[in-house]
Structure formats: C-alpha cells, structure tokens
Amino acid sequence: MNDEKFDELFDEAFERAVSSASPVDPESRRAAWERVQNRRKQLSGSTEVRTGENIAEHAETTSSKAPASLPQQAGQQQSFRRRYRRSIRMTGIAAGLILFGSVAFSDPVRTGALNPLYQKLYTWSTGEAVVVSGQQKPQSTEGALTPPPPEGIEKPTFESTEEALPEPEPGQIISSVHYEEQPVSLEEIKQRLAYPMPEFPRVPADLERYETTLSVPDDGSAPVSFTLRYKGENDRTLSIFVDYLNEDANRTYSFGIGKVTEIELDNGLEGQFVDREEGSEDLVHVIRGQIDILISGNLTRDELLQIAGHIVDGEPR
C-alpha cells in the first residue's frame, strides 16, 4: 500500500472514530485532529530527514569503498520500512490518547453516567398502569401481569425482563434462590442488610411501627430487601418496602387499575403516585440511586409524598 493511500484510509478511520464520540464538542474534535495532524507531520518529517541522512552517509561511504552487496541493500531497505512503520504506530498511539482524553475528561452528565436508571410509565388499554425501570432501554411490556394485593405491600409485583436461562445440559444442576420473610429488629436489619439502611424521618408521629421483616435468601448471601409496617388510630396504616436494584436488572411493575401520575418529590427524585380506588391504599414508588422503594398506606397524599420526599441515606457501616 502506498503512502498516499495509507494516509487517506487513516484519515477516514480516525474521522469516523472521532465522530462517534458524541460527548465531545466539535471544537474539541477539531483541535484534537489538528494536534494529530501536526504530530504526524513532525514524525513523518523527522523520519524522512533521518532516512535522507542515512542515504547520504551511505553514498559517501560506498563512493570510496566497494559497492554494498545485495543482502546489505535489502537490510537497509527493511530498516527503513521498520522506521516508517514505527512512526505510523506512534501516530496511531498519539491519536488514541488524544481521543481518549477528550472523551474521558468531558462533562460526565452528557454521557448519562449520573443517571444509570430510568423509569417509564405505561397505561395499558385495560386501564392498568405499568412502570418499567432498569438500566438499559425499556423493553417489551407485553404479557399478563398480576396486580399487587390491594391492602399493604407483601411483595412488589414485577417481572424480570432479563433473558431466560438456557435449558440445563444432562447432569447439570441449576440452583434457585428462595427467600424467607423473617421478623427481626430494626437493629438487626441494619447489621445484616447488604447496604446502608435508608431512614424515613417523615413517618407521621401518630403511627407506631409494629413489624419489621427481612427477606433472607437461602444461599447464604446478604439480604437486600426489608419491610417496615406501621399502624395508628382510625385505621391509619403504612407499609414501606425497600429493595436493591442490580445494575443489570430490568423490572416491570403493575400497580393495578387506578390513577397514576408522575411526580417530582421535594428531594428532586422522580416517581409515581398511585391513587387507588376507595377502600385501597394509595402508593408512592421511587428509585433512590439503586434503592427501589414502595410506600403504601391509608394516609393522605401529602403524608405519603412527605415520607418519600425526605428519605435519608443510611450511614455506611
């Protein structure tokens, strides 16, 4: 391949690589490309000068001595090619470093790094409200979903949209994890939970916590979900279910038939408020970091939003 053809292909490939780095603004790309071009010229120029000097020295030497043998001439040509290829490799390395720096040190907000989880609200033709959450793009929500119990929160209703496991091969054993709801103290939840336990300082003062349960897996791993239940006079109730969202997990929630509105809480988080039919408890769903929280109760809308909008992160152990 001749030099002009190589330069043309190199320019096209590098331009495509730079164009694909969307977080970098055009000015940065243009400046980076100019630096690469200047560096290529310097490397190419220095190689040509060194090569010319070597040829001149070789000419002076051979003018007073016997002509170089064919193997010697072939070795000199091979040395020239090695030097030229090395200059091209160095140019590629310089280009890669400039491109990496312009991407790595750009504004992280523009790359979406600070918003790893999404929430998308759907309403089916049946009137059922469905929320899809996860890290990747929302996947298909087709299929039947079972609404959660109308009273309290025993478990969040969701379906995993991760790919199904392949069929086991003969003799292969695929284990499954089962969970047991264990009544425990609040202190035990804090000690055994796999992450710092969040706190809920805006729970109404007239409510008394009467039950705390921890969902314990049978594989020996640390628990990741728990439930707090409160009650008060005049049938006032509150249930708070907390779970941990894996980075690669996508979930589809069904909140049954009711009026679902997207909300922005006092802490800036976005969530959903489910205004259920009379006789059923209203619900707030919110994701805080990778903590998935469902708050349900026979309380006023403002009380539920106050609880969800003033969640405090737990202290690291």
pLDDT at position 276, please?
80
Listed residue (159, 116, 148) closest to 289, CA to CA: 116
- pLDDT reported for residue 190: 94
pLDDT of residue 35: 66
CA-to-CA distance for 210 and 125, rounded, in angstroms? Answer: 39
Beta strands in the chain (DSSP E): 118-123, 128-134, 158-160, 179-183, 208-217, 225-231, 237-244, 251-257, 259-264, 270-275, 282-288, 291-297
Residue 280 confidence (pLDDT): 81
The token pair at 189 is 């939840």
- pTM here is 0.52
Residues of the chain with pLDDT under 70: 1-175, 247-253, 255-258, 317
Angle, CA of 44, 50 and 55, to the nearest 5°: 120
Question: According to DSSP H, which parts of 65-185 are helical?
Answer: 70-104
Report the pLDDT value the prediction gives residue 177, as an integer from 0 to 100: 77
130: left (phi over 0), alpha (psi -120 to 50) or beta: beta
**Rounded distance between C-alpha atoms, residue 178 and residue 218, angstroms:** 6
The conformation of residue 295, written as its DSSP 8-state character, comes to: E
261: amino acid identity, one letter: T
DSSP letter at 169 equals P
Integer Cα distance of 251 and 267 in angstroms = 23
Give pLDDT tens digits for 123-133. Answer: 555 555 566 55
